[in-house]
Each structure stands twice: as structure tokens, then as C-alpha cells.
Amino acid sequence: MKGIKKYFKYDNVGILFVLPALIYMLVFVGYPIIYNFVLSFQDVTVRTLRSNVKEFVGLDNYINLFKQDNILMTSLWNTLFFTVVCILFQFVVGFALAVFFNKNFKFAKPVRGLLLIPWMIPMTITGLMFKFMFSTDVGIINFFLRSLGIIHKNIDWLTNPTTAMFAVIFANFWIGIPFNMILIATGLTTIPKELYESAAIDGAGKFQTFRKITVPLLKPTMESVLILGFIYTFKVYDLVYVMTSGGPVNSTQLLSTYSYKLSFEMFKYSEGAAVANVLFVILFIVSSIYLKFIYTEGEE
């Protein structure tokens, strides 16, 4: 009796509570990840999918991918470019809006609520909407630009390799603003009002208060927003698939769309898995850095 009681002491009970979630994670997250890694070291294509013995080829799939016209490098570069540009703009605009709506004026709260809508709309719908808006002849964006006299000839946004990436980034930028804005706005409310008051008494200007109080106190929030945003943007799939499917001529091909294409359009399952793993490893590293941030801050 005493033994059982001892067994259910604080720490052990904790393990029991964690167990269901842990088992769930192992089955639904751990297994697919491991399976995906195994798959990427085998030669599984249309010819071998159903055979019982799958040839182990080591790193061949990865080597092949780097050799094949380097679409892997193109999509890796595209993904990085897409992510960095999106995050940069989302963050700046989101930050500005958060500071703006932090002021107490009429309608500040309802309008801030309305701005959340882009975040709530399903990605595929947003994708279709932007595809329509960016279309060359009937798109509203070309119509506006023409009416304002900025352009004289319609721009072929989605069918030109140089502008397609810009169009896709713009769509994702629009989606991501609310996410940045809300998290930063929440961070702003945690800064004590007294600090601003005493700064004002000491004669600090607007810019000085922003630089010396707001920014340093918001640092942890900003780190989280940036890293979560990176993870979220890096694995974007539906938006790009709907708008361009990676084209034209792979100019918007991302790691996620390339992986899907290899696996389910070209039946090269192992190579598709290998691309997915490249994506996974990068995200894993970023996530680890993030976790380390949080733990060191917690210890301070």
C-alpha cells in the first residue's frame, strides 16, 4: 500500500498524465517521420511500390536530387526567399498596426477584430481569390494600376517567372499580418503603463520611449513571433499550389510543392520523401534554436 502511494508521488503521476499525449505523438507524428526517413533511403518508384523487398540505396536519392537540373536547389532557394521576404514585411506592417491599435480611440477594438479575418479564411480560398485578382486580363489589380495610370499594358503576374513569386509573396503577406499584429499587440499590453508615464515626466520623446522601452521589453515576444512565423511560412503549401502549382517554369516551386509533385504526380516516392526530409531537417533546426531560447530565458 505504502509502495503504491509512493509510486504515485508527484513526479510519477506527472508521467501518467503525459503518457496519452506521448503515445499519440509517437504513433501519429513519430512513426510517419521515421517511415519517411526510411523511405528516402530506399528506391521506391512506380516499379517497386508493391514489391516486398525494397532496395536500400543509401544517399542516392539525395545525390540524384541535387544533380537533376537542381530543381531542389531552386526550390530551397525559393522557399528561403519566400519565407524571409514574407516575414520581413508581415512583421513590420504587423508591428506598426499593433502599435497603432494599442492607442485608445473609437472603433480601435472592432477594427482590430476585423483585421483578423485574413487569418481565419481557409488558405485555398485566399489562394483562389488572389489568383483571380492577379489574372492578366480580368484581374482587379491590373485594372487599378491601369486606372491610376501606373501601367499602360497589363502585367502577366502569374504567368511570368519574375512576377509570379512576387504575387505569391504578396498573398501570403496579406494572410500573415494579423498573426504578427495580434501577438505583438498582446505583448504590448504586458508593458506596465508606469514606465511610459515616468519616461514622459523625465522628458523622453516619442521615438526615445519606443526605442528604450517598447522594443527592449517586447524582445521575447518579437523573437517568438519571428520564429513561429518562420516555421509557419516555410512549410506553406496550399496557397502556392492553388495559385501557381509551383510554376511557371518552377519559379515558385517550393520544397513542399516539389515534394508533392515528385511523389504524387511523378510517382517517385523516395525522392519525394527525401525533399520532405530536407524541409523537416531545416524546420527541426529552427525549432531547436527556438526551444533553446525559451529555456535559457526561463532560467534567467
Partner 1 sequence: MKKLLSMLMVLAMLTTMMVGCASKKDGSQTSSDNGTGVTQAADKNAGTTDDTADASDNASGDVTIWYYWETEGHQKALNQLVQEFNDSQGNIKVEAKYVPFADFKKQLSIGASANELPDIVIQDNPDTAAYAQMGIFADLTGKFDVSNYYPGPVNSCTLDGKLYGVPFGSNDLLLYYNKDMLDQAGCQVPTTWEELLETAKKCTTDKVSGFAHSSVQNEEGTFNFLTWVWSTGATAYELNSEGGIKALTMVKDLVDSGAMPKEAINWTQGDTMNQFISGNLAMMLNGTWQVPTMRQEVPDLNWGVAPIPMDKQQASGLGGENYSVIAGGNEAAAIEFLKFATQKEQCLFMMKTMGYISADSTIAKDQFAGDEVYEAFVEEMQYANARGPLAEWPEVSDAISLAFNEVMTGASAPEAAAAKAQTTIDAVINK
Binding partner 1 (rule: CB under 8 A), the pick from 10, 28, 105, 107 is 28
| Stretch in the footprint of partner 1 (CB under 8 A) among 21-29, 110-118, 168-176, 191-199 | 21-29
CA-to-CA dists, residue 210 to 56, 96, 124, 200, 204, angstroms: 58, 12, 38, 12, 10
Residue 209 amino acid letter? T
Question: Judged by CB, which is closer to partner 1: 118, or 247?
Answer: 247
Query: Which residues 260-279 are close enough to bind partner 1 by CB under 8 A?
Result: 261, 263-269, 276, 279
CA-to-CA dists, residue 272 to 44, 50, 167, 179, 275, angstroms: 10, 17, 26, 30, 5
- CB within 8 Å of 198: residues ≥ 6 apart: none
* Matching residue, cell 530565458: 297
Say whether residue 192 binds partner 1 (CB under 8 A): no
* Site residue total, partner 1 (CB under 8 A): 51
The secondary element (H helix, E strand) that includes residue 127 is helix 123-133
Phi-psi region of 56 (alpha: psi -120 to 50; beta: other; left: phi over 0): beta
Question: Judged by CB, which is closer to partner 1: 102, or 159?
Answer: 159
Say whether residue 237 binds partner 1 (CB under 8 A): yes
Q: By rule CB under 8 A, what string of x and - marks binding of each residue 120-159 to partner 1?
A: ---------------xxx------------------x-xx
Say whether residue 224 binds partner 1 (CB under 8 A): yes
| Stretch in the footprint of partner 1 (CB under 8 A) among 92-100, 165-173, 210-218, 256-264 | 256-264
Residue 200 CB-half CA count within 13 A: 5
Q: Which of 190, 195, 227 is nearest to 98 (CA)?
A: 190
Q: Which of 100, 133, 113, 93 is nearest to 242 (CA)?
A: 133
CB of 267 to partner 1, least distance (A): 6
Say whether residue 222 binds partner 1 (CB under 8 A): no
The three-state secondary structure class of 56 is: strand
Say whether residue 166 binds partner 1 (CB under 8 A): no
CB of 248 to partner 1, least distance (A): 5
Binding site residues, partner 1, CB under 8 A:
25, 28-29, 32-33, 36, 45-47, 49-51, 68-69, 135-137, 156, 158-161, 224, 228, 231-232, 235, 237, 245, 247-250, 261, 263-269, 276, 279-280, 283, 287, 290-291, 294, 297-298
